[in-house]
């Protein structure tokens, strides 16, 4: 079992829709959870961090964390073509103070 | 300011060359990282420096040699690389190595080994 798993995609949504990206992790003691956006040929850009159960909103982005179920999700409201990118879920586990990345979900927002 | 800078943007080198990648941050961060990313894969951690001391080396081949001259600078020295080392090399920094510290990535160096 991979430490951090993401729905493999690719995921396509129409412009204006809600895009939902999911991530599960295996280390129950994981402490910190991050979402990065990576455009093709560019470096990862941090868009959300979440540390406690519940929702965290920032503009059109909402991160949701459920530690009991060991999943973290990212919702993108009013999706725009400029949101088309690969989204990487990253987790800091209980023992290693380093990021473990999921394999990424490629999102395409269709005009 | 969450800027991490990396030079050069692109590098082409032969298998017998010696070259260096450079990374700089001015955010007062005390942890810096080198990652390697192959196409359509997530970043893989290579090295971690914390307070200018190497704290993690993820069993990376010795043809990669990191150096942290001070808390703002991080270098990656390259020697006798193989074509399979061609990748995007990413530098990142964070305030420290506590679990809640966010990592910010530089733009990367696209390395091609011929």
Sign for the CA dihedral angle at B110, A106, A59, A100 comes to: negative
CB B109 within 8 A of CB B21: yes
Q: Which residue of A has its CA nearest to B3?
A: A45
Q: Taking CB atoms and an 8 Å limit, are A103 and B103 in contact across chains?
A: no
Angle at A25 between CA A59 and CA B88, to 5 degrees: 70
| Cis, bond preceding B56 (omega within 30 deg of 0) | no
Q: Which residues of A touch B2 (CB under 8 A)?
A: 46
Give mean pLDDT, residues B10-15: 94
Q: Give me the residues paired with residue A55 across strands.
A: A64
Label residue B96 by pLDDT band (50, 70, 90).
confident
Please give the pLDDT value at position A98. Answer: 84
Please give the pLDDT value at position B72. Answer: 95
CB B32 within 8 A of CB B68: yes
Please give the pLDDT value at position B102. Answer: 93
Chain B interface test: which of A41, A44, A46, A94 (most B C-beta within 10 Å): A44
Q: Give me the residues paired with residue B111 across strands.
A: B11, B87
CB A53 within 8 A of CB A67: yes
pLDDT per position as a tens digit, A14-72: 999 999 999 999 999 998 999 999 999 999 999 999 999 999 999 999 999 999 999 99
Label residue B94 by pLDDT band (50, 70, 90).
very high
What does B59-107 look like in DSSP terms, one character per residue?
Answer: S--TTEEEEEEETTEEEEEEES--GGG-EEEEEEEES-SSTTPPPEE--
For B10-86, list the strands marked E by DSSP: 10-13, 18-25, 31-37, 44-50, 53-57, 64-70, 73-79
Residue A91's Cβ-count burial label (10 Å; 0-12, 13-18, 19+) is: buried
Please give the pLDDT value at position B23. Answer: 98
Please give the pLDDT value at position B1. Answer: 54
Tokens of A46: 């941090």
Q: Give me the residues paired with residue A40 across strands.
A: none
pLDDT per position as a tens digit, A66-101: 999 999 999 999 999 999 999 999 999 887 678 999
pLDDT per position as a tens digit, B26-52: 999 999 999 999 999 999 999 999 988
- Tell me the average pLDDT of chain B: 93
**Interface A:B, Cβ pairs < 8 A:** 48
Q: How many Å apart are CA B80 and CA B101, to the nearest integer?
A: 35
Tokens of A16: 């204006």
CB B7 within 8 A of CB B106: no
Please give the pLDDT value at position A95. Answer: 76
What does A69-108 look like in DSSP terms, one character per residue?
Answer: TTEEEEEESS--GGG-EEEEEEEE-SS--SEEE---EEEE
Q: Which residues of A touch B43 (CB under 8 A)?
A: 44, 88, 99, 101
């Amino acid at each position: 079992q991979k430490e951090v798993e993401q729905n493999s995609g690719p995921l396509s949504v129409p412009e204006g829709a809600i895009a939902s990206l999911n991530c599960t992790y295996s280390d129950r003691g994981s402490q910190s959870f991050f979402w990065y956006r990576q455009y093709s040929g560019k470096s990862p850009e941090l868009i959300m961090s979440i540390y406690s159960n519940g929702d965290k909103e920032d503009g059109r982005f909402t991160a949701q964390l459920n530690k009991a179920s060991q999943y973290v999700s990212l919702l993108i409201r009013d999706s725009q073509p400029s949101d088309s990118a690969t989204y990487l879920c990253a987790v800091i586990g209980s023992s290693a103070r380093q990021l473990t990345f999921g394999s990424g979900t490629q999102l395409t927002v269709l005009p | 300011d969450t800027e991490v800078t990396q030079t050069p943007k692109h590098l082409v080198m032969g298998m017998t060359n010696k070259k260096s990648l450079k990374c700089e941050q001015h955010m007062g961060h005390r942890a810096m990282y080198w990652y390697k990313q192959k196409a359509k894969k997530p970043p893989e951690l290579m090295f971690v420096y914390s307070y200018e001391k190497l704290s993690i080396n993820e069993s990376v081949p010795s043809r990669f040699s990191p150096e942290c001259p001070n808390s703002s600078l991080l270098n990656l020295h390259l020697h006798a690389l193989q074509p399979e080392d061609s990748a995007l090399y990413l530098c990142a920094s964070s305030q420290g190595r506590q679990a809640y510290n966010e990592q910010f990535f530089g733009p990367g160096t696209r390395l091609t080994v011929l």
